Chain A
């Protein structure tokens, strides 16, 4: 393969708020650069997981290389690095950005700049990327491109004067975007003969090729047979293949050199050896120092995942292991619950990550799951000077052994139109938020700044935010640190027996309210049984709320004659089947969905 001229490479990503049209624009760029014909294009080539397509979000970074013949007659190689689009994956986003030299900022002509847009732009600017704005969806009746431009200039402070006005959906003016990529996004630098220094921005597991590392070469060259080392994990391996990204396929090539984006497969067994953000170098001729910005990502949210059918425990373990191959951030370890049997305590980057993993397990692995209430990591300082990081409420030590506890707090920015400021401030107040200030970014829009305990936002904060602002508020957060807090463990007793899977930790001030709501909800969910069942919420030995499920009074069929018998048997079988799917706690049968229902206690 001939030498590639660095000046003809453009490495860039597209950043946007959810639904502003990132993936659609990516599709158009791929289509119009001629790598694929229109007929070959399936809508949204990059989001290749079924789930991603359905939710319209990108979970894993996807990358594609295309060739564009510009108006100056030259051919340019475009490496489009599609980044995950959610705050849960902030670190992955930052590493993807670090692999780029520029970014296309897509702003919806009708919606304007949103909190997440801001967060991503700042992240891009932090990485010294040249940000090139594009106004999308100008074909919508509600489009107001001038206002969108103004917002980009006022709020973000970058020039939007000649931002292309496009419709990624119809392809309108996307050609201008391609030209601007050539003109505005800088070519990469780096010395192909220097010691190898490559940034890992993602990795996937392929059952044929093994671990495939996605990387951006900053310095040096790598080719088949090179012995490489991961600088953070110290893992070494021999390169089996290098290549670049076709649309949905890997295309091997001779070598990758400084400025290029591509993949490496090597004699690596485990994606755990290839941390996103780590630097790959040559084992024989290492570079002086790794690229900046590497950190090990740690889960922020934990919950128990149990198979609805206890016999499926090994299947769940296999599925988690397989998922982990492609998702280094997912952690899990075996645990046992009295109520739910054998399962796993799993760690996630955030609630979306949790939901995605849960959905993939259910859909791709056909598993029925019972999930316990998500929990953050609490720091428990014991009287004996020991500190434990608590991920499972059941493991909370006896109160007499606890000196004090700390909970994680985030710095949140909520962007909202002025009419909803009051409602959103009320919400933050209810969620124990500490007001930090407010900035008007234009006449009727403001950014509210709060410090919020993480455990107050992992349940339904996002839903509440949307419902109280009629969908107009957008939200972004980052970890701030730990703060001392008055926390208690709320236990649920069903027929006087503690149900460990329903225990959780919360602020003492909200315990009564939550305990009451949980009891009410459980009363609705637990069907009447042969005997009366008390449902109690307790803190320690103190009962703070109680409901009763009355004993079943009547379950009888008045008529059963010649024509009813077959149907009668089927009804009985169905009834028995329903009973089987319930969880036995003591001698009470609890439907699976009762465990889940307490996660969604409506705000009323």
Chain B
């Protein structure tokens, strides 16, 4: 039997406090609940052993949340023991854990290293304490610096720092300050996201959904009396200026943009995330975690009680199983692959789908090229800067191949 590569995503749905913009599956919880969850998670991991141990080799693991670093070092150790016993994990596997400043201790860091964790992703978001407070973050920039020094001191050599741009009240200047300070710390990787106002978050209530309403709500909120005075979101022009400035400034510090929101020093792209855009198979473990296995997408139940009792009772906890058709996969190949700066490979397209990209999208590609939204250079097809700015408008042209 051929052993294929696979990635693992592990979800820890807990955090100290929910941030104002966050729509991830996460909440504050007591120690007892956390312990119960870890126990169940380990049970779920062990359940996969018989299916996967002989059949796949794990190339990357990503422990995300929430704030996975909220768990005790011991809990994390148990989780990784289970992973190592149930899966064959490559020697050079990239193993990432998300952490938040203020939740790491030397003891935890030490245990993580022993567990094989070799990459840390730190949620900083901004160096401006006022902005941090506004986002609802629990830490200050100073606290971040403490944590950053601590993880470096423990010998972690692959670190990502998460930043959020276009947050309310932000100017191009304050953003440049954040970028510069962070770049000078020389992390190996930086993720810089434009704020997305997601439904169901406090930010959504403040800044509303789409276009017209957003503006109205904003205006009325700005005029509102009392203690809550909300700062405005940057307009589209400022937002794009911020985006362009990011690429330019980080470029000067030796970072290359390799995806819409991701920048890395040479040799440090995030292999796990790259897997999503290149449609590698991945197994999601934990509450609400998504998977792509055997041409099928699904996710685990997002209902905490259902998850716990489901795993305990050996029930199927998978939901929204969606078997992908060839057309679905071709679409995904395009709208995921074109997120990457280097775009997609025509050869790879042919290898995966048995027909040439010109046969499927020849007309669209030509048109997009003429509109200066896309470039075709040899084997590679990638978006121009303009194409990236309006990438959704480009992607929809690749639907229904």
A residues with a Cβ closer than 8 A to B are 524, 530, 552-563, 565-566, 568-569, 571-573, 575-576, 579
- Say whether, besides A554-B240, A561-B273, A562-B9, A576 and B399 are in contact (CB < 8 Å): yes
- Give the residues in chain A near B290, CB-CB below 8 Å: 562-563, 565-566
- Say whether, besides A554-B236, A555-B389, A576-B399, A566 and B193 are in contact (CB < 8 Å): no
| Assembled-state Cα–Cα distance A555/B240 (Å) | 11
**Contact present for B336 and A560 (CB under 8 Å):** yes
**Contact present for B393 and A559 (CB under 8 Å):** no
**Contact present for A530 and B335 (CB under 8 Å):** no
**Contact present for A573 and B399 (CB under 8 Å):** yes
| Assembled-state Cα–Cα distance A489/B207 (Å) | 43
- Give the residues in chain A near B399, CB-CB below 8 Å: 572-573, 576
A–B complex contacts, Cβ < 8 Å, 26 sampled: A553-B236, A553-B237, A554-B390, A555-B389, A556-B194, A556-B260, A556-B392, A557-B196, A557-B391, A557-B392, A558-B194, A558-B195, A558-B196, A558-B260, A560-B339, A561-B276, A562-B291, A563-B289, A565-B276, A568-B335, A569-B332, A571-B392, A575-B396, A576-B396, A576-B400, A579-B396
Contact of A562 among B260, B282, B371 (CB under 8 A): B282
Q: Does B328 contact A (CB under 8 A)?
A: yes
**Contact present for B261 and A572 (CB under 8 Å):** no
Contact of A556 among B332, B373, B389 (CB under 8 A): B389
Q: Does B219 contact A (CB under 8 A)?
A: no
15 new A-B contacts, CB < 8 A, other than A552-B390, A576-B399, are: A530-B373, A553-B236, A553-B389, A555-B389, A555-B393, A556-B390, A558-B195, A559-B261, A563-B284, A565-B297, A565-B332, A569-B335, A572-B392, A573-B399, A576-B396
Looking across the interface, which residue of chain B has its beta carbon closest to that of A574? Answer: B396
Q: Does B331 contact A (CB under 8 A)?
A: yes
Q: Does B388 contact A (CB under 8 A)?
A: yes
- Say whether, besides A554-B236, A562-B9, A565-B336, A575 and B392 are in contact (CB < 8 Å): yes
Q: Does B395 contact A (CB under 8 A)?
A: yes
- Give the residues in chain A near B393, CB-CB below 8 Å: 530, 552, 555, 575
Min distance, Cβ B15 to any Cβ of chain A, angstroms: 16
Min distance, Cβ B300 to any Cβ of chain A, angstroms: 10
Min distance, Cβ B279 to any Cβ of chain A, angstroms: 9
Number of A-B residue pairs with CB-CB distance less than 8 Å in the complex they form = 91
Min distance, Cβ A531 to any Cβ of chain B, angstroms: 9
| Assembled-state Cα–Cα distance A524/B331 (Å) | 32
| Assembled-state Cα–Cα distance A575/B400 (Å) | 13
Q: Does B106 contact A (CB under 8 A)?
A: no
Q: Does B239 contact A (CB under 8 A)?
A: yes
Looking across the interface, which residue of chain B has its beta carbon closest to that of A552? Answer: B390
- Say whether, besides A561-B273, A576-B399, A555 and B328 are in contact (CB < 8 Å): no
| Assembled-state Cα–Cα distance A348/B154 (Å) | 83
**Contact present for A556 and B391 (CB under 8 Å):** yes
**Contact present for B392 and A555 (CB under 8 Å):** yes
Tell me the B219-262 residues at the A interface (CB within 8 Å): 236-237, 239-240, 260-261
- Against A, the Cβ 8 Å flags (1 = close, 0 = not) of B157-183 are 000000000000000000000000000
| Assembled-state Cα–Cα distance A559/B332 (Å) | 15
- Give the residues in chain B near A562, CB-CB below 8 Å: 9, 276, 282, 284, 290-292
Contact of B288 among A559, A563, A566, A569 (CB under 8 A): A563
| Assembled-state Cα–Cα distance A562/B193 (Å) | 16
**Contact present for A569 and B331 (CB under 8 Å):** yes
| Assembled-state Cα–Cα distance A394/B288 (Å) | 58
Looking across the interface, which residue of chain B has its beta carbon closest to that of A553? Answer: B236
- Against A, the Cβ 8 Å flags (1 = close, 0 = not) of B92-125 are 0000000000000000000000000000000000
Main secondary structure of the interface of A (DSSP, over half): loop
- Give the residues in chain B near A569, CB-CB below 8 Å: 328, 331-332, 335
**Contact present for A555 and B276 (CB under 8 Å):** no
- Say whether, besides A553-B389, A565-B336, A572-B335, A559 and B328 are in contact (CB < 8 Å): no
- Give the residues in chain A near B291, CB-CB below 8 Å: 562
- Against A, the Cβ 8 Å flags (1 = close, 0 = not) of B371-401 are 1010000000000000011111101100110
Looking across the interface, which residue of chain A has its beta carbon closest to that of B398? Answer: A572
| Assembled-state Cα–Cα distance A580/B335 (Å) | 19
- Give the residues in chain A near B239, CB-CB below 8 Å: 554
- Give the residues in chain B near A530, CB-CB below 8 Å: 371, 373, 390, 393
| Assembled-state Cα–Cα distance A555/B260 (Å) | 12
**Contact present for B276 and A560 (CB under 8 Å):** yes
- Against A, the Cβ 8 Å flags (1 = close, 0 = not) of B254-292 are 000000110000000000010011000010100011111
Min distance, Cβ A47 to any Cβ of chain B, angstroms: 39
Q: Does B137 contact A (CB under 8 A)?
A: no
Min distance, Cβ A557 to any Cβ of chain B, angstroms: 6
CB-based closest 6 A-B pairs: A563-B290, A576-B396, A558-B193, A553-B236, A555-B390, A555-B392
Q: Does B320 contact A (CB under 8 A)?
A: yes
Looking across the interface, which residue of chain A has its beta carbon closest to that of B339? Answer: A560
Min distance, Cβ B312 to any Cβ of chain A, angstroms: 24
Q: Does B322 contact A (CB under 8 A)?
A: yes
- Give the residues in chain B near A524, CB-CB below 8 Å: 212
Q: Does B299 contact A (CB under 8 A)?
A: yes
| Assembled-state Cα–Cα distance A166/B359 (Å) | 78
| Assembled-state Cα–Cα distance A562/B292 (Å) | 8
| Assembled-state Cα–Cα distance A571/B198 (Å) | 14
- Give the residues in chain A near B273, CB-CB below 8 Å: 561
- Give the residues in chain A near B396, CB-CB below 8 Å: 572-573, 575-576, 579
| Assembled-state Cα–Cα distance A575/B210 (Å) | 13
Most buried by B among A552, A556, A563: A556
- Give the residues in chain B near A552, CB-CB below 8 Å: 390, 393
- Give the residues in chain B near A571, CB-CB below 8 Å: 392
Looking across the interface, which residue of chain B has its beta carbon closest to that of A578? Answer: B396
| Assembled-state Cα–Cα distance A552/B391 (Å) | 11
Min distance, Cβ A597 to any Cβ of chain B, angstroms: 13
Looking across the interface, which residue of chain A has its beta carbon closest to that of B24? Answer: A563
Tell me the B126-147 residues at the A interface (CB within 8 Å): none
| Assembled-state Cα–Cα distance A552/B387 (Å) | 11
- Give the residues in chain A near B292, CB-CB below 8 Å: 562, 565
Contact of B297 among A554, A556, A558, A566 (CB under 8 A): A566
- Against A, the Cβ 8 Å flags (1 = close, 0 = not) of B313-327 are 000000010100000
Looking across the interface, which residue of chain A has its beta carbon closest to that of B235? Answer: A553
| Assembled-state Cα–Cα distance A579/B393 (Å) | 10
| Assembled-state Cα–Cα distance A560/B260 (Å) | 9
| Assembled-state Cα–Cα distance A403/B336 (Å) | 64
| Assembled-state Cα–Cα distance A552/B291 (Å) | 34
| Assembled-state Cα–Cα distance A552/B390 (Å) | 8
Contact of B389 among A554, A563, A576 (CB under 8 A): A554
- Against A, the Cβ 8 Å flags (1 = close, 0 = not) of B323-354 are 00000100110011001000000000000000
- Say whether, besides A572-B395, A576-B399, A566 and B322 are in contact (CB < 8 Å): yes
**Contact present for A566 and B320 (CB under 8 Å):** yes
| Assembled-state Cα–Cα distance A568/B339 (Å) | 13
**Contact present for A563 and B299 (CB under 8 Å):** yes
| Assembled-state Cα–Cα distance A371/B301 (Å) | 47
| Assembled-state Cα–Cα distance A560/B195 (Å) | 13
Looking across the interface, which residue of chain B has its beta carbon closest to that of A563? Answer: B290
| Assembled-state Cα–Cα distance A561/B339 (Å) | 11
Min distance, Cβ B198 to any Cβ of chain A, angstroms: 10
| Assembled-state Cα–Cα distance A407/B137 (Å) | 68
| Assembled-state Cα–Cα distance A233/B392 (Å) | 62
| Assembled-state Cα–Cα distance A558/B21 (Å) | 14
Min distance, Cβ B26 to any Cβ of chain A, angstroms: 12
Looking across the interface, which residue of chain B has its beta carbon closest to that of A559? Answer: B193
**Contact present for B196 and A559 (CB under 8 Å):** yes
| Assembled-state Cα–Cα distance A555/B388 (Å) | 8
Looking across the interface, which residue of chain B has its beta carbon closest to that of A554? Answer: B236
